[in-house]
């Protein structure tokens, strides 16, 4: 257990990690932090991000999936929760990992499932009890349900004590992204466009092997075609694009394929958005 | 006292909470944190938010008022301070609460008063001494006055030692927001529009009782009328609005009335901004 | 050394400070924090800012230079790194200061040099070793190189152990900003425009003495002329500007000259951007 109630818990025994769509302008994320400071005063709280686009469960799930491989032991509170106040379940799940357990707490709307899968699957899960609240509406479960549950887990309370046990396999899952591979061609979905305009695809280096796509390729995005070149950094050799902005295809820091453009937004050059589908095709030989 | 100079202070003895209009792009909030790290290295610092609109003392005061009920013991540093460098006072106040005292530190321009009131009123207050600074201008009191005072309080120094005692009743207060209730009608001010476009009003559920407004109502905002319905979540039943976006009236997480619209910005649908005044009127029966 | 491997290190022995251009929407900064939480679980991490404009090494270097005088002991991780994955060196440098050493870790592209100089110069520096990484691309050195190096330094490992020693004088430096002073006139570069629109110049109060510019002056910016007045706060006396927005010249909180406008953006009034050059000229007598 990360901490132990009454003991000195905490430091070294795991952190509390936060990922939400609360943004930074309002106090929502701050209130999560104040509840944790009050209920688990020795816990160190680590913000993963509060910048998930509002209501975008898919984007939050992908961010959490990308982040959890790097987490040490502790409790993750993830909140992207357009259905707050409705019948959707609030859940907590535990995963056994070297160094200590990881707990994940949040709404059961698909947000947690990919991260749990990446970590090896949940051993147990519960539907969190909701304490009745007479003074205020049931529209801020981050404050009223998820952060208190995380504080309890961090302090060493058992998962059982927080609600009724449920089958981890019953957790809601999102549709998998588009990905299809055949000789000379990969069709892939844009999973994520980051601050720098890098375009992360649902495809992996193994899909290049399967399709036989080599160093030179052509990207079709939004009906337009762009020459591209496999690269190991954002500095792409050659100038293949008609706009003079060479598009590179890299294995990114998550081990996925990403389309990039040196010191420019590849998303802008390609004219793509998250959830768009692009096609990669092999080009034979050099031009 | 939260910590004690020379002792191990800190963890469990209270946190330092920050609320400013410094934003996130510049280093201003970071410099507050570095001063606290230097002067009170064992203190855990909790960001409430640095996203208060620039210079907007009223928005900062409302945010602080909404947040302080959730704080454990410690010291709050609040800075929205367009008058920095002028004759406005820099102040610190103490509030007695279960679990330990709360100290609030900031400019005396109305920012602190509502939060102090919500906490039960200040027992004592001081006007902070300003140390002369030859090398740089007096335009960053967060760094030069408020954070050092907060570090001293957290470390166990007395309020007295920081400046001259003042009457807590002398702290500057802002004008109260518009709110008037009569049978069948509530006139209320928009206090806050959050990231999701929810429109928090100055009215409370008791105003619904007073005015006799029931489940169905009409909202007049910016000269236009919208049907609305009392709801317990952001999922509003029925489609009352001409635009097909049903407006809900909820008791929000602060116990105030808020106008909401499922997965859309109610503020955009209604065309309202903070400080606008809207009218709620009872609708007789269902349509 | 800030901490000591195996000891209780940490609190009071220095912090880890972060400054990046990662922004707040993606999880990049969060992943840095998770790596530090995992590798140096007792370290307190202080965000300076993650809001440096993307790829803007100069802006990051200036921010770091402004911030380091306020830091206590510890390790700074600074990442603005458009050349990640190329041949640019990854470096760490140590500076001897009262209260304990400061370590600075980041890319060798000019980002660190001004801060090191302000702190008195590096005593030692190393080029960080890069561990081969088979699973993912070499495009996130913050996660893969800089944060692990910072965790090692915080835990008490020696600089030597992290890579090959290099001459601190070999660290890359940026071009110095424009600044020229002659009787009655200062030509200065806009170093920084902050959230409030204050315009920080490359000039200092001593340049006013050198040029003999007094209380009344004229600013030439983007081909237009504005009367201005030396001031000690953002509240500028008199209304000199044709637009009715009095421009003030203050000694700002970094000890530099800044052009300001009360509760308005001086940058907008003057029509200037970072890197622009403005001219200050003495006005004889009052108008």
Chain B residue whose CA is closest to C23? B25
Chain B residue numbers touching C19 (CB-CB < 8 A): 27, 30
Q: Which chain B residue has the Cα nearest residue A51?
A: B195
Give the list of residues 6+ apart from residue B209 with CB closer than 8 angstroms, or none. Answer: none
Q: What is the pLDDT of residue B243?
A: 57
Does residue A4 surpass a pLDDT of 70?
no
E strand map for A26-111: 45-49, 74-79, 90-95, 102-107
Task: Tell me how far apart the terminal alpha carbons of chain B are, to the nearest angstrom.
Answer: 59
Q: A136 to chain B: nearest residue by CA? A: B255
Q: Which of C8, C15, C18, C34 to mutate to test the interface with A (most CBs of A within 10 A)?
A: C34
Mutant choice from C102, C234, C258, C264 vs B, greatest count of B C-beta within 10 A:
C234
> 10 Å Cβ neighbour count for B77?
26
Indicate the pairing of strand B45-49 with strand B15-20: parallel
Does residue A144 have a pLDDT over 70?
yes
Alpha carbon distance A63, A156 (integer Å): 27
Residue C103 contacts residue C160 (beta carbons within 8 Å): no
pLDDT at C244: 63
Q: Are C182 and C253 in contact (CB under 8 A)?
A: no
Taking phi over 0 as left and psi of -120 to 50 as alpha, with beta for the rest, C66 belongs to: alpha
- Which two tokens mark A91? 């859940």
Contact A34/B72, CB-based, under 8 Å?
yes
Decide if B231 contacts A137 (C-beta within 8 A). Answer: no
According to DSSP H, which parts of chain A are helical?
28-39, 57-67, 113-118, 141, 147-154, 205-211, 266-270
Pairing of strands C45-49, B216-221: unpaired
Residue to substitute from C22, C49, C254, interface B, most B β-carbons within 10 A: C49
| Cα dist from C240 to A65, B1, C278, whole Å | 57, 50, 18
Q: Residue C61 is inside which H or E element, if any? A: helix C57-67
When pLDDT is cut at 50, 70 and 90, the band that residue B77 belongs to is: very high
Instruction: Say if residue B8's pLDDT is above 70.
Output: no
Using CB atoms, pick whichever of C37, C55, C136 lies closest to residue A15: C37
Question: A146: distance to nearest CA of chain C, Å?
Answer: 20
pLDDT of residue A164: 97
Contact residues on chain C for B10, CB-CB shorter than 8 A: 11
Residues of chain C in contact with residue A70, where contact means CB-CB under 8 angstroms, are 31, 34-35, 38, 143
Best of A3, A10, A27 to mutate (most B CBs within 10 Å, chain B): A27
pLDDT exceeds cutoff 90 at B242: no
Average per-residue pLDDT for chain B: 91
Other CB atoms within 10 Å distance of the CB of residue A227:
17
pLDDT at B22: 98
CB neighbours of residue B43 within 10 Å: 26
Q: Does pLDDT of A243 surpass 90?
A: no
Query: Cβ separation of A30 and B49 shorter than 8 Å?
Result: yes
Picking from B281, B159, B173, the residue whose alpha carbon sits closest to that of residue B220 is B281
| Inter-chain touch C252–B136, beta carbons under 8 Å | yes
Q: What is the ipTM of this complex?
A: 0.92
Q: Which residues contact A110 (CB under 8 A, 6 or more apart)?
A: A57, A58, A61, A172, A173, A174
- Contact at CB, B143 and C253, closer than 8 angstroms: yes
**Is residue B89 pLDDT above 50, yes or no?**
yes
Token pair in block for residue B88: 């406005």
What does the pLDDT profile of chain C (287 residues) look like in tens digits?
344 333 334 433 699 999 999 999 999 999 999 999 999 999 999 999 999 999 999 999 999 999 999 999 999 999 999 988 888 999 999 999 988 899 999 999 999 999 999 999 999 999 999 877 667 778 899 999 999 999 999 999 999 999 999 999 999 999 999 999 999 999 999 999 999 999 999 999 999 999 999 999 999 999 999 999 998 877 766 545 555 678 999 999 999 999 999 889 999 999 999 999 999 999 864 43
Cβ of C28 and A194 within 8 Å? yes
**Residue of chain C whose Cα is closest to the Cα of B29:** C48
Q: How confident is the model at residue A7 (pLDDT cuts 50, 70, 90)?
A: very low
pLDDT digits (tens, 9 = 90+) for B93-122: 999 998 889 999 999 999 999 999 999 999
When comparing pLDDT for C134 and B44, which is higher? B44
Average of per-residue pLDDT across B227-252: 77
Band of residue B4 on the pLDDT scale cut at 50, 70, 90 = very low
Spell out which residues of chain A touch residue B44, defining contact as CB-CB under 8 Å.
37, 41, 44
Considering only residues A248 and C287, tell me which one the structure prediction assigns the higher pLDDT.
Answer: A248
Band (pLDDT 50/70/90 cuts) for residue A12 is very low
Q: What is d(CA B31, CA C254) in angstroms, rounded to the nearest whole number?
A: 12
Would you put residue C41 in left (φ > 0), alpha (ψ -120 to 50) or beta? alpha
Would you state the pLDDT for residue A1? 37
3-state DSSP call for residue B202? coil
Across A159-180, average pLDDT:
97
Asked if B230 has any chain A CB less than 8 Å from its own CB, the reply is: no
Report DSSP letters for A222-279, one per residue: TTEEEEEEE-SSSS-SS--STTS--EEEEE-TTSSEEEEETTB-HHHHHT--TT-EEE
Classify residue A142 by its DSSP letter: I
**Is a pLDDT exceeding 90 seen at residue A65?**
yes
- pLDDT above 90: residue B263: no
Residue B287 to residue C22: CA distance in whole angstroms: 52
Is residue B134 very low, low, confident or very high in pLDDT (cuts 50, 70, 90)? low
Q: DSSP state, A5?
A: T
User: Greater confidence, B283 or A76?
Assistant: A76
pTM: 0.94
d(CA B231, CA B241): 15
CB contact under 8 A, A48 and C41: no
Q: Which of B211, B208, B189 is nearest to B200 (CA)?
A: B189
């Amino acid at each position: 257990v990360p901490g132990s109630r009454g003991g000195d818990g905490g430091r070294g025994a795991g952190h509390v990690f936060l990922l939400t769509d609360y943004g930074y302008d309002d106090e929502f994320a701050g209130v999560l932090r104040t509840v944790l400071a009050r209920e688990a005063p020795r816990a160190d709280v680590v913000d993963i991000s509060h910048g998930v686009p509002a209501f975008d469960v898919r984007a939050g799930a992908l961010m959490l999936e990308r982040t959890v491989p790097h987490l040490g032991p502790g409790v993750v509170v993830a909140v992207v929760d357009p259905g707050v106040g409705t019948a959707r379940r609030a859940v907590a799940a535990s995963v056994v990992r070297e160094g200590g357990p990881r707990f994940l707490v949040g709404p059961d709307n698909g947000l947690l499932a990919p991260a749990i899968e990446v970590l090896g699957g949940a051993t147990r899960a519960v539907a969190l009890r909701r304490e009745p609240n007479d003074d205020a509406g049931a529209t801020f479960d981050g404050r009223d349900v998820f952060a208190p549950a995380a504080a309890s887990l961090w302090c060493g309370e058992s998962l059982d004590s927080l609600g009724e046990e449920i089958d981890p396999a019953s957790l809601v899952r999102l549709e998998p992204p588009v990905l299809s591979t055949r000789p000379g061609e990969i069709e892939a979905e844009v999973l994520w466009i980051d601050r720098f305009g890098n375009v992360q695809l649902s495809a992996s280096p193994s899909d290049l092997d399967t399709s036989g796509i080599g160093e030179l390729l052509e990207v079709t995005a939004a009906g337009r075609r762009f020459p591209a070149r496999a690269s190991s950094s954002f500095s792409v050799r050659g100038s293949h694009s008609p706009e003079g902005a060479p598009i590179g295809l890299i294995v990114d820091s998550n081990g996925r394929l990403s389309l990039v453009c040196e010191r420019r937004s590849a998303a802008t050059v390609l004219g793509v958005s998250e959830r768009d589908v692009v096609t990669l095709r092999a080009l034979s030989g050099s031009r």
